[in-house]
Amino acid sequence: MGERRVAVVTGASSGIGEAISRELAKRGWQCVLLARRADLLEKLAVELDGEWETCDVSDREQVDAVAARILERHPSIALLVNNAGVPARGSFLDIDPERLERVIDVNYLGGVWCLRAFRPGLEAAARAGGAHIVNVVSVAGTVAFAPAGGYAAAKHAQLAFSRSTTALLRGSRIKVHTVLPGFVETEGFPQRTKLRSPLLRRFVIEPDEVATKVADAIEKGKGEITVPWFPYRLVSIAQAVAPGLVAGLAARSTAHRDE
């Protein structure tokens, strides 16, 4: 049996990152798990026969140091999953300034730092046959949600980063996959208890569904996917075509209940 391909997954300690790690391991990948919570990472790594490193992706120097250690063990990185993210409820008028800075640093810049740090490993894998980058963005990257303006802005930036990187790496044998999940029920994003709209609560999905779609996208070479397609892709199109209408609907329907 050949050596397993190496996948680095950020934000792997819970939620979508944990689910993606489980799905990749099931499909034969050797996962190197990154997140801030060592206890959860270690437990999952043992279960998946993988590796783990504590890492705050918002800290560029820490990312560089962690990547150097991983690349020393695994010079070829066939997959980088930029999944780490934090919530940021509140409008631009009332959100805590430190939280606003944090969501930009983690949700957007974290992926940039990881791409740069793991570039040598990705290029090595590309020369050996091919490599992949998965950027787990959000439908919030296409729709401007006023009640969570800082989060939406960070995800818009992350989407631009992912699409720009897709163009940058075209022809390099490093395939970029942009994943846009809708509302997903996770520890950090308890959508079913926070969303006011009963209709929107019906479309909340589980992390396992996203993980399966991510793994399928890698295997089938899909560049950009929305999970699930309905109704979120339609909302993204509506934002582009009729932004005023979507803004009015978003103000009434997508607000979160108070903590």
Q: What pLDDT does 147 receive?
A: 79
191, 204 contact by CB (below 8 A): yes
Q: What pLDDT does 254 receive?
A: 46
Half-sphere exposure for 173 (CA within 13 Å, toward CB): 12
**pLDDT for 192-218, tens place per residue?**
455 555 546 566 878 999 999 999 999
* Cis amide leading into 231 (omega within 30): yes
Residue 257 has pLDDT above 50, yes or no: no
Domain assignment present for residue 19? The answer is yes
- Is 108 among the residues known to form the active site? no
Q: Which two tokens stand for residue 22?
A: 């489980």
Structural domains counted in the chain: 1
Q: What pLDDT does 150 receive?
A: 94
Domain assignment present for residue 166? The answer is yes
Residue 178 has pLDDT above 80, yes or no: yes
32, 38 contact by CB (below 8 A): no
Q: What pLDDT does 256 receive?
A: 46
The CATH number given to whatever domain includes residue 56 is 3.40.50.720
Q: What pLDDT does 152 receive?
A: 93
Domain assignment present for residue 259? The answer is no
Domain assignment present for residue 198? The answer is yes
Q: What Å distances lie between residue 202 and 69, 130, 205, 245, CA to CA?
A: 43, 39, 9, 22
Residue 242 has pLDDT above 80, yes or no: no
134, 217 contact by CB (below 8 A): yes
**pLDDT for 2-33, tens place per residue?**
688 999 999 999 999 999 999 999 999 999 99
Q: Give 23-28's long-range contacts (Cβ < 8 A, gap of 24+).
A: 23/208, 23/211, 23/212, 23/214, 23/215, 24/79, 24/81, 24/215, 25/49, 25/50, 27/215, 27/219, 28/4
Q: What pLDDT does 184 receive?
A: 83
Other CB atoms within 10 A of residue 224 CB: 16
Question: End-to-end CA distance of the chain, in Å?
Answer: 51
Domain assignment present for residue 28? The answer is yes
Supply the range of the domain harboring residue 125. 6-253
Q: What pLDDT does 255 receive?
A: 46
In whole angstroms, give the CA distance from residue 191 to residue 17: 17
Q: What pLDDT does 28 receive?
A: 97
Q: What pLDDT does 189 receive?
A: 58
Residue 153 has pLDDT above 70, yes or no: yes
Structure-model confidence comparison of residues 41 and 200, the more confident one: 41
Domain assignment present for residue 1? The answer is no
Q: What pLDDT does 236 receive?
A: 72
Domain assignment present for residue 52? The answer is yes
Which one is catalytic: 113, 151, 183, 232?
151
Going by pLDDT thresholds of 50, 70 and 90, the confidence category of residue 89 is: confident
Domain assignment present for residue 258? The answer is no
Structure-model confidence comparison of residues 204 and 87, the more confident one: 87
